[in-house]
Structure 1
Amino acid sequence: MEAVLILLFLGLRQLESATAPAHWPALYPTCNGTRQSPIDIKTKEAVRNNDLGKFLFLMYDERQFLTTIKHTAMTVKVTLNTRMQLRAGGLNADYVAAQFHLHWGKSIGSGGSEHTIDGKQADMELHIVHRQKGLSLTNVFARPDGLAVLGFHIMIEHGISEDPAWKNLTKIIKHLKDDGDYQHLNDTVSLMDLIRSVNLTKYYRYNGSLTTPECNQVVVWTVFEEPIRLNASVVETFFEDLYVNRTSGIKLRENFRPTQHNRNQVYASRGATKAMDTGTGNNGSGKARGSPLLLLALASLYLHSS
């Protein structure tokens, strides 16, 4: 039951998310916090931290561990088997996989990523969400490091062939007609198939929040320096074939939150190309904040309203 609650909370199929991001702080005070995400990562201001080394990606190569893909009205979400785990990389704990989802724009070249790097917005962004191993639902949402999210920019590169893994994934996406529709992935692709083209030692780290209401400040963010490069036809699937409401013809587009003013320091990994080489710093850990009882009640509400 607890795992279901966490997935529902992280799934964020919320009616409230349909409200324009500019209105979120008025509706949800947490969305006006000091550690909000996404942010613009200014690489020359990121402090090099040599403790931010290689990750251990456990079971990321297992194709059967990507179970279902679902249209949530706000994005497409792939549920992950919790035997997939994330370790090291300067994290203070082990994390188990929960889901991944994506953010995109309205057309080729319009921009659609949530994070920007040195002011540059990518075409899309992939978020792989993990929860800290061994924590109850209450504690996950009471700690600034309750969740660990890996963020990957996706860039269109003209003239390259279609990536087989991403092509297989987008073939299935075309069958998601409306909110709530889902498909079983049936060993179609592994998580590592989708990200293996990226140098996974080059990344930036900061403490931030979820990028949808209630914008809980519980996320250790890792944003990778190198993008996943895809053919335009693969990216087009997201803003051309997915609908908020197919009957009305309204397409699911521009599902990203603009960059926020996060006051926390950004750290660069040992392998990052650009950084301030001023010392090891720390990896952004902090003290718990928030109202865990309220968060638990909201998660239960999502369960019973599904």
Structure 2
Amino acid sequence: MGMEALLVLFLLGLPQLDSSKVKYCYHNSKCAPPAWPALYHTCNGSQQSPINIKTTEAVRKNDLGEFTFHMYSNRHSLMKIKHTAQSVKISIGDSLELRGGGLKSNYSALQFHLHWGWNSSSGGSEHTIDGVRAGMELHIVHARKGLRLEGALAQPGGIAVLAFFITIENGRTEDPAWKSLTKTIKYLKEEGDYRKLNGTFSLMELIQSVNLTKYYRYNGSLTTPECNEVVVWTVFEESIRLNASLVETFFEDLYINRSAGIRLHGNFRPTQDNRNRVWASRGASRASDPSTTAPPALQTQQLPKTTESGSAGSRPFLLSLLLTLACHILPPN
């Protein structure tokens, strides 16, 4: 059998995945994060998120100053909390707006959701700082003002996400705003269940314990499929600190399949190899001075862009790999 025929048979034997028939998940190897690049070609790009932020390589940028959080204190802007099977999502009315912070546009808040691990003592954040993973992570998702979500997902910088680490502690005083949020989770029995929020807390009350001038900034992607590389990320340095009793409900009461006993656990994507520069706000505690920091050598390298058929630049490498495999499989002449 010729080499080309062998390669054809080898390729035909590879599993053919149809993303239209598979919904992404975290609990099953067929649809969990390692499978996403095969299910969604856009999850295989060069600017993926989340990342590990190395503070010694983050360069301070003086125009990354304070934000303006317009209407974030409005308690009636938080509409409902919903079980999505991948997380819990809180929808936001159309009055909240994010400005400043070095952003090139104003952004309208759409929703926020959370990521967590398996229990209150395990790591569950998506981003890490210097390799340290927090217990949970909160994402507030915004679209560039004037764009519908579909348009924002198609434009670089169309989405801005504020990311907050959550540190889980024993014996800490319960935060009343977070208590109002977490007590609704017991009503979310299965996917699609929701609970209306009654104006008992605001978004600002959930994040006000954090110094909002200390953060890191980079360009990346959504951390869920289809992993669109359109996100301006702001990752805050300080953590929201919550009593373990407040967040136990995330680990105990949320199920993907209650009858089968499958809980919604470990809903975070591992860190990705994103080569974009990470910047630090002028208020960040840990960062390098730009006058003494040379840009990393990898920063100038252009990685291949992906297409619907896969990474165009990776085909010679793939062919070489298959030839190598074939040489090991076929006996010598």
Q: What amino acid maps onto 1:36 in structure 2?
A: Q
- Alignment pair present for 1:154 and 2:162: no
Q: CA deviation at 1:82?
A: 1.6
Distance 2:64 2:155 in 1: 20
Match of 1:275, as an amino acid?
A: A
Distance 1:90 1:290, change over 3 A: farther
Q: Is 1:94 matched with 2:94?
A: no
Return 115-124 or 26-35, whichever deviates more.
26-35
Question: Which 5+ residue runs of structure 2 have no aligned equivalent?
Answer: 1-21, 295-304, 308-333
Counterpart AA for 1:15:
K
Which residue number in structure 2 is paired with residue 31 of structure 1?
43
Q: What's the counterpart of residue 80 of structure 1?
A: 92
What is the aligned partner in structure 2 of residue 16 from structure 1? 24
Partner residue of 2:260?
248
Residues in 1 aligned to 2:186 and 2:70: alpha-carbon distance in whole angstroms: 30
User: Which sits farther off after the overlay, 272-281 or 87-96?
Assistant: 272-281
Match of 2:124 among 95, 107, 112: 112
Q: Distance in 1 between matches of 2:84 and 2:151?
A: 25
CA deviation after TM superposition for structure 1 residue 165, in Å:
0.7
Q: Which residue of 2 aligns with 1:190?
A: 202
Alpha-carbon offset, residue 197 of structure 1 = 0.2
Contact 1:111 1:122 in 2 (8 A): yes
CA shift digits 1:133-166 (9 cap, x unpaired): 0124453122220000000000012221111111
Q: Measured at CA, do residues 230 and 88 of structure 1 come closer, stay the same or move farther in structure 2, by a change above 3 Å?
A: same
Please tell me whether Structure 1 or Structure 2 has the larger radius of gyration of its CA atoms. 2
Deviations 1:103-151 (A, max 9, x none): 0000122100000001000000000000000124453122220000000
Task: Tell me how far apart the structure 2 counterparts of residues 50 and 72 of structure 1 sit (CA, whole Å).
Answer: 39
Q: Given the superposition, is the C-alpha separation of residues 79 and 223 from structure 1 closer, same or farther in structure 2, using an over 3 Å criterion?
A: same
Secondary structure, counterpart of 2:82 in structure 1: strand
Pair 1:258 & 2:270 matched: yes
For 2:120, give the aligned amino acid: I
CA distance in 2 between counterparts of 1:111 and 1:27 reads: 26
The reply to whether residue 231 of structure 1 matches residue 243 of structure 2 is yes
C-alpha distance in 1, partners of 2:192/2:150?
A: 26
Question: Corresponding residue for 1:220?
Answer: 232
CA distance in 1, matches of 2:169, 2:66: 27
Regions of 4+ moved over 4 Å: none
TM-score (norm 1): 0.85
- In 1, distance between residues paired with 2:79 and 2:151? 26
Aligned-residue RMSD, C-alpha: 1.7
SS at match of 1:43: coil
Offset of 1:195 from its aligned partner?
A: 0.3
- TM-score scaled by length of structure 2: 0.79
The DSSP-based 3-state class of the residue aligned with 2:187 is coil
In structure 1, what is the equivalent of residue 12 of structure 2? none
Q: How far is the alpha carbon of 1:290 from its aligned partner?
A: 8.9
Question: Which runs of no fewer than 5 residues in structure 1 stay unpaired?
Answer: 1-13, 282-288, 292-306
> Which amino acid in the other structure matches residue 233 of structure 1?
S
Alignment of 1:130-141 (within 5 A): 130-141=142-153
CA distance in 2, matches of 1:46, 1:20: 30
Structure 1 range deviating more: 105-114 or 194-203: 105-114
Shift of 1:101: 0.2
Q: Give the alignment partner of residue 177 of structure 1, picking from 172, 183, 189.
A: 189
Note if 1:65 corresponds to 2:77.
yes
**C-alpha separation in 1, matches of 2:218 and 2:272:** 13
- For residues 280 and 100 of structure 2, the distance between their equivalents in structure 1, rounded to whole angstroms, comes to 15
**8 Å Cα contact 1:38/1:258 also seen in 2:** yes
Distance 1:109 1:145, change over 3 A: same
Match of 1:52 among 60, 64, 82: 64
